[in-house]
Amino acid sequence: MGKVKGKPGPLARRPDNSAFKQQRLPAWSPMLTANTVLPFFYFMALICLLLGVWLLLTVQNTQEMKLDYTEAETCNKCFEMRKNVSNANETCICTVNFRIDKPFEGDVFFYYGLRNFHQNLRRYMDSRDDGQTVGRKKNLKDPSSYCEPFLKDPSGRPIAPCGAVANSIFNDSFTLRYHYSNGIGEVPLLREGLTWYTDKYIKFRNPTTDNLTLAQVFEGTAPPPYWQKPVYKLDPSNPMNNGFINDDFIVWMREAAFPNFKKLYGILFRNDNPFTKGLPAGNYSIDISYNFPVQYFRGRKEVVLTTVTWFGGQNHFLPIAYLVTSSLILLTAVVLTVVWWKFGKDGKNMKE
């Protein structure tokens, strides 16, 4: 403003003649006209159509198999047994059979699924201590109060990993078997590489061991009440897969957004025949170590086998949604064209 005061004479207080102050900034003022909107609509319809068709063709190449084993076949007895809490520590193994008619080609993924299990409740989601699972020693011995009521065991030892999420870990285990013509053989499953890279290597870390064993580091902590094994003994076969960096644990700790969800259990190991190209057609069975009780909350359990393409597993919604959207846009475009052609008042009321 000093500049303004400096000006002498009768125009001393005249506002600056800048485009900004006079609201004359150069500007682009687009308008919806038939020339732009209608081609845009047709173009959108075409794009959606092409995408939809392409996605549909891609999805056609995937295969999926779902199997609800909650009360299926021999699992019925395990289901009944788990109704009674006092039997919680007894093991129960059951088997379900199924058949694949068309071979699953390429990578095959093995999921377990839960229905009606709410991992997305606010208090459930909050009930964890990321400081503990990232390996902070302080949080290991003194977890965050968010973990209540799974913070300390009755004798006062801190629970590791603490909180409701960790406590409720899905603890069924599966063995997939292929029925060869001459007997039954195990289908090899890779039980690692199931997580996000950032989860495995950044978000979940074991406390520094300093030449101690993992068991010694976790000394003085208690496992969550529903766990049968402590956290450092989760995977007896692979010592590097224990503690907070256990893949199954990390998978479970990535909470699902909706009550019906599936989580990755394993990936087909395609080194040996006959699984180099995927799962061949034939009869299969799954041996299930049936631990996780779902009848309390009227839940269901299932296993899912699927192959994937570049945009993931079998997902019919997306291509169909694109096709429907495409046809709706096309319909709108046609209606708009007709209306514009027949009734449009293109600048005819200028004289008003």
Partner 1 sequence: MTHLVCCVSAEEERRVRANDREYNEKFQYASNCIMTSKYNIITFLPVNLFEQFQEVANTYFLFLLILQLIPQISSLSWFTTIVPLALVLSITAVKDATDDYFRHKSDNQVNNRQSQVLIRGSLQNEKWMNVRVGDIIKLENNQFVAADLLLLSSTEPHGLCYIETAELDGSENTLHLNICSRNLKNLKSVVCEPPNNKLDRFSGTLYWREKKYSLTNQNMLLRGCVLRNTEACYGLVIFAGPDTKLMQNSGRTKFKRTSIDRLMNTLVLWIFGFLVCMGMILAVGNAGWEKEVGSLFQSYLAWDTPVNNFLFSAFLSFWSYVIILNTVVPISLYVSVEVIRLGHSYFINWDQQMFCSQCNTAAEARTTTLNEELGQVEYIFSDKTGTLTQNIMTFNKCSINGQSYGKDTHTTCRLDFTPFNPLADPDFCFYDDKLLESVKVGDSCTHEFFRLLSLCHTVMSEEKRELVYKAQSPDEGALVTAARNFGFVFRSRTPGTITTTEMGRTVTYSLLAILDFNNIRKRMSVIVRNPEGRIRLYCKGADTVLLERLHPCNQEEYATDGLRTLALAYRDLSEDEWEAWSESHRFADKATDCREDRLAAAYEEIEQNMMLLGATAIEDKLQEGVPETIAVLSLANIKIWVLTGDKQETAVNIGYSCKMLTDDMTEVFIISGHTVQSVRQELRSVWLCAHCTRLYTAHALEADMEAEFVSTACACKAVICCRVTPLQKAQVVELIKKHKKAVTLAIGDGANDISMIKSAHIGVGISGQEGIQAVLASDYSFSQFRFLQRLLLVHGRWSYLRMCRFLCYFFYKNFAFTMVHFWFGFFCGFSAQTVYDQYFITLFNIVYTSLPVLAMGIFDQDVPDHRSLEYPKLYEPGQLNLLFNKREFFICIAQGIYTSVVLFFVPYAVLSNATQSNGVPLADYQTFAVTTATALVIVVSVQIVLDTGFWTVFNHVFVWGSLGSYFIIMFALHSQTLFRIFPNQFHFVGSAQSTLLQPVVWLTIALATAICIVPVLAFRFLKLDLKPQLSDTVRKHTKTQRF
Q: Interface residues for partner 1 in 12-41 (CB under 8 A)?
A: 12-17, 21-23, 25-34, 37, 40-41
Q: Is 208 in the site for partner 1 (CB under 8 A)?
A: no
Give CA–CA dist 313/217, Å, rounded.
Answer: 40
Q: In this complex, which beta carbon is closest to partner 1, that of residue 44 or of residue 97?
A: 44
Task: Map residues 60-99 to x or -, x wherever contact with partner 1 holds by CB under 8 A.
Answer: ----------------------------------------
- Which residues within the stretch 115-174 sit at the binding site for partner 1 (CB under 8 A)? 116, 118-125, 127, 129-131, 134, 136, 144, 146, 149, 164, 167-168
**CA pseudo-torsion sign 91, 97, 98, 104:** positive
- Residues in 241-270 that interact with partner 1 by CB under 8 A: 254-264, 267
Nearer to partner 1, 73 or 192 (CB): 192
Give the end-to-end CA distance of the chain in Å, rounded to a whole number.
45
| Closer residue to partner 1 (CB): 139 or 221 | 139
CA 120, 121, 123: angle at the middle one, nearest 5? 130
CA-to-CA distance for 223 and 221, rounded, in angstroms? 7
d(CA 118, CA 260): 8
Q: Do the beta carbons of residue 178 and residue 187 sit within 8 Å?
A: yes
Binders of partner 1 in range 316-335 (CB under 8 A): 317-318, 321-322, 325, 328-329, 332
- Which of 123, 51, 66, 117 lies closest to 96, judged by CA? 66
The C-alpha atoms of residue 73 and residue 41 are separated, in whole angstroms, by: 54
Write the binding mask 263 to 302 for partner 1: x where contact by CB under 8 A, - elsewhere: xx--x----------------------------xxx----
Torsion of CA 147, 150, 151, 154, to 10 degrees: 170
Site stretch for partner 1 (CB under 8 A), options 215-223, 238-246, 280-288, 342-350: 342-350
Shortest distance, CB of residue 2 to partner 1, whole angstroms? Answer: 16
